Amino acid sequence: MRNSIGKSPFHACYDLKGCADDKLIEKEGERIKAVHKRIWNVGMWCGQINWTDERKRYYAGKLEARGIEVELRPHQRSHFISLLKRDTDLLAGHNLMDYSLLVATKETPSGLEAPGPAELTPYRCPGKNGKDLLVYVSLIDFLQVWTNGKRVARCVKVCECNKATIPPKEYASRMLTHFTRQVVDGQGNDADSVDIDFSMENLPSEKLISRPLSMRYGNSLRRFSQ
């Protein structure tokens, strides 16, 4: 994670998939412990009265992550969506799914150089109290192939709504649609229209076994222009 968004502490850090698996990782420098409601944890399914404080905090973070809006300048938003479209198309073409979009923010005095390695160039937006808000974004965990095991998992989770275990083309389309809606114009203007085709028919065909990833795939979403 440090290679893509830098070091903690963050004002906030989210792991987002555009589905029910979205979660808050860190808030105001505090790590949020993951406490899952697994099927074998019977007590957790009998109401929140049996939840621990850590479970309640984790669940509240998931709700926050699902509704987060990322505010960028109009040209930054257009640039971000075009990169996301390119990358999700590439991943779908290699039969990959279940990846996440890391979104992390830091506050820094206006005009001060962003902390961390020079390769990490965040989006810089006006923040509160005269400070700048640095927005780091990166696709991670993108090597999960759509296999027969994932097909079985999809069937097992038949009662789960808005799940992450879906075929690559559907996964890519959902992520692009979700973040086109959730990444907004921070200047309060109508968001610039971006010529994006959301139809799954235009995505590469699905394959059970992926081709080797191109070694030239190095220009990932974490390399932003301000």
pLDDT at 47: 73
75-79, 86-90, 126-130, range with the lowest pLDDT: 126-130
Residues 190 and 78 sit within 8 Å (Cβ to Cβ): no
pLDDT category of residue 81 using cuts at 50, 70 and 90: very high
Q: DSSP of 9-64, one letter per residue?
A: P-SEEEEE-SSTT-EEEEETTEEPPP----TT-GGGGS-GGG--HHHHHHHHHHHH
pLDDT at 188: 60
pLDDT at 62: 94
Average pLDDT over residues 105-128: 83
Per-residue model confidence as pLDDT tens digits over 44-55 = 667 777 788 998
Residue 167 included in any domain:
yes
Handedness of CA 143, 83, 103, 110 (dihedral sign): positive
Range of the domain at 169: 2-202
Residue 137 included in any domain:
yes
Residue 208 included in any domain:
no
Which residue reads 């810089």 in tokens? 124
Radius of gyration over alpha carbons of the chain, in Å? 18
Tokens (6 digits) for 48? 């929140």
Residue 207 included in any domain:
no
Residue 72 included in any domain:
yes
**CATH code of 166's domain:** 3.30.810.10
Q: Which residue has the higher pLDDT, 223 or 186?
A: 186
Domain count across the chain:
1
Residue 209 included in any domain:
no
107-116, 131-140, 184-193, range with the lowest pLDDT: 184-193
Tokens (6 digits) for 157? 């989770």
Model confidence at 3: pLDDT above 80: no
Residue 226 included in any domain:
no
pLDDT at 190: 52
Distance CA 115, CA 121 (A): 9
Model confidence at 123: pLDDT above 90: yes
Per-residue model confidence as pLDDT tens digits over 13-72 = 999 999 999 999 999 999 999 988 776 676 666 777 778 899 899 999 999 999 999 999
Model confidence at 103: pLDDT above 90: yes
Residue 213 included in any domain:
no
Q: DSSP of 173-184, one letter per residue?
A: HHHHHHHHHHEE
Per-residue model confidence as pLDDT tens digits over 159-218 = 777 888 899 999 999 999 999 999 998 766 554 444 444 344 444 443 333 333 333 333
Q: Please, what's the b/e burial string for 94-119 (b: 16 or more CB within 10 A of its CB; e: otherwise)?
A: bbbbbbbbbbbbbebeeeeebebeee
Model pTM greater than 0.85? no
Tokens (6 digits) for 51? 């939840």
